[in-house]
Amino acid sequence: MTRGDRTFVAATGAAMGLLLAAIVALGWALVRLGAPALGPELLLGRPSADLARGGILYAIHGTALSTLLMTLAVVPFGVIAAIHLGELARPSSRVVRLVRSAVHALAGVPSIVFGLFGLGFFVLFVGHGIDALAFPGAESPVLGRPALLWASATLAVLTLPVVIVTTEEALAAVPRELREAAQALGATRLQGIVTVVLPAARAGVLTGAVLATSRGAGEVAAILFTGVASYVPHAPTDPRDGFMHLGYHVYVLATQTSDVEGSAPVMFATALVLVLVTVGLNAVALVLRARAREAVR
């Protein structure tokens, strides 16, 4: 190796080392600060009035429910759209290029703008509209206010690009021979997709769903005005309710509780739980993606 090479390896290695060190430091700090308060009282406890010492059961519940609703909405939508883009339409068609541009553009929209959209469209337009049509005499808005439903809908629009891109990738990786075999056996294009291509791309499609779920679970800016609350006295079961959320709980504890020292353990523990969920989901997605690639090979 020349001296230039040695410098090159050292410099790039140092950069890699810096990134890894940052990751390790982050993980270590979170575990050290959050693990002490982590336990069944925290995970299964109801929130206290001042949030500082209570449990995060309702926040976990709220996060799980909003993410689940989001996933139920976005996965069918995204997979179907990806099927059109990848399997049915001519690759050079104008619609395909337009949709791909739209996907790319949606991916670039800042999450706070999605929050504005969720408020302006789902809460104030769709919600108010439904209220006006279905509940004209109501004293207070039924659906025209921030709710679990609208927050999940907003998150679904936000994560749509992730699902579409990952699914398209997964579908494209399915070998041509499988499609041709299906056609040779007399299946129509759609039958071939549903019975052969989709199952073959199953792991990749699931990757997209899991990545979207991870993104949705960690997203706070988009739910600020569309449904999250700092305190609900019971676990949300009605999609018209507000809900607590792990990420928002961390933010509230960091900025809005009066007991700064007392709330720190719960705050870090909540952050730790949230990171375990999102990073855990991401790890699952990575494993799925690796397995999908190997299966194709």
Partner 1 sequence: MRSASSRPALLLLLMALLGWACTSAAGREGSDAVRIVVRGSDTMVTLAQRWAEVYGDAHGIVVEVSGGGSGTGIAALANGTADVATASRRMTEEERAHIERDRGPLEERVVAIDAVVIYVNEDNPLGAVSLAEVAAIYRGRTTRWGELGGDDEPIAAYSRENSSGTYAFFKEHVLGWHDLAPHVQCLPGTAAVVRAVASDRHAMGYGGLATASGVRILPLRLADDTLSQPTREAVRAGAYPLARPLYVYVLAAAPDAVRWFVDWTTSSDAQGLTERAGFFPTGDA
Partner 2 sequence: MQGRGRARRARGLEWLAERMIAAVAASVVVALVLVLAFVAREALPVLADAGGIARLRELFAPSGEDGSFAWQPVGHPPKLDVVPLFVGSLKITAIALAVAVPVALAAALFVSEVAGPRTRRVLKPAVELLAGVPSVVLGLLALTLVAPAIQRALHLTYPANALVAGLALSLAVAPIVFSVAEDALAAVPRALREASHALGACRWQTALLVVVPAAAPGVTAAIVLGFGRAIGETMIVLMTSGNAAVVDASPTSGARTITATIAAELGETERSGEHWHVLFLLGLLLVTFTLLTDWAGRIVARWLARRRGEARGGTP
Q: Which of 57, 106, 116, 194 is close enough to bind partner 1 by CB under 8 A? A: 57
The reply to whether 257 sits near partner 1 by the rule CB under 8 A is yes
Q: Indicate which of partner 1, partner 2, none lies near residue 159 (CB less than 5 to 8 Å, by partner kind).
A: none
Positive or negative, the CA dihedral 24, 27, 31, 34 is positive
Total residues contacting partner 2 by CB under 8 A comes to 84
Q: Rounded to the nearest whole angstrom, what is the least distance from the CB of residue 60 to partner 2 in the complex?
A: 14
The token pair that represents 10 in the structure block: 């050292």
Residue 242 contacts partner 1 per CB under 8 A: yes
| DSSP annotation string for 258-288 | S-HHHHHHHHHHHHHHHHHHHHHHHHHHHHH
Distance, in Å, from the CA atom of 251 to the CA atom of 233, rounded to the nearest integer, reads 19
Other beta carbons within 10 angstroms of residue 267's beta carbon come to 23
Check residue 94 and give left, alpha or beta (phi > 0: left; psi -120 to 50: alpha).
alpha
Among 84, 100, 202, 293, binds partner 1 (CB under 8 A): 202
Cα dihedral across residues 54, 57, 60, 62: positive or negative = negative
Q: Report residue 176 CA to chain centroid gap.
A: 31
Tell me if 4 contacts partner 1 by CB under 8 A: no
262 touching partner 2, by CB under 8 A: no
- If the CB atoms of residues 103 and 267 are measured against partner 1, the closer one turns out to be 267
- Asked if 173 touches partner 2 (CB under 8 A), the answer is no
The answer to whether 91 contacts partner 2 (rule: CB under 8 A) is: no
| Contact flag: residue 15 with partner 2 (CB under 8 A) | yes
Interaction with partner 1 in 109-138: which residues (CB under 8 A)?
123-124
Interface residue with partner 1, options 206, 212, 274, 277 (CB under 8 A):
206
Question: Which of 178, 254, 276, 296 forms a contact with partner 1 (CB under 8 A)?
Answer: 254
Does residue 50 bind partner 1 (CB under 8 A)?
Answer: yes
Single-letter amino acid code for the residue at 246 = L
Exposure letters 16-55 (e unless 16+ CB within 10 A, then b) = eeeeeeeeeeeeeebeebbeebbeeebeebebeeebbbbb
31 contributes a contact to partner 1 by CB under 8 A: no
Per-residue x/- track, 68-87, partner 1 (CB under 8 A): x-------------------
Q: Which of 280, 279, 285, 275 is nearest to 246 (CA)?
A: 275
- Residue 7 or 256 with smaller CB distance to partner 1: 256
Residues lying near partner 1 in the complex (CB under 8 A) are found at 49-51, 57-58, 60-61, 64-65, 68, 123-124, 139-141, 144-146, 199, 202-203, 206, 210, 229-238, 241-242, 252-261, 263, 284, 288, 291, 295
